[in-house]
Amino acid sequence: YTQLSWLSNVLNVQSIIREIRVQCPKNRYKYIDTKGLANYQKDVQTLLNKHSADFQEISLVYAKDSNYENNKIYYAYIYVRFKNFVQSEIFRITALKTNDNTSASV
């Protein structure tokens, strides 16, 4: 098993990917300089921050690859560390003897 074996983790990541695919084309042609690139990254990080409560950690790291830059491609990594969660429950049930004189304390 890995962290991506659990449906809740996969759905959280897919939700972020969907939002990024909606947000990034809106900004695609606005930024062509260093300041613009920083703003682009800030926009994506803001989107990731909206989901930070769903993860132990989520961050954006720009890859800075000259081949991608020459081809006008923004290349970055999104790192996620998933929170632990309860997958199943185990309860121990103990039946106590009924006694009119005393009460059981749990």
Tokens of 81: 């560390």
pLDDT at 40: 82
**pLDDT at residue 5 in the model:** 84
pLDDT bin (cut points 50, 70, 90) of residue 101 is low
pLDDT in tens, 13-53: 999 999 999 988 887 777 667 777 888 888 899 999 999 99
**Residue 70 CA, distance from chain mean position:** 30
Contacts 24+ apart (CB under 8 A), 3-8: 3/82, 6/82, 6/85, 6/87, 8/85
Task: State residue 57 phi and psi, 5-degree precision.
Answer: -155, 140
- At residue 64, the pLDDT reads 81
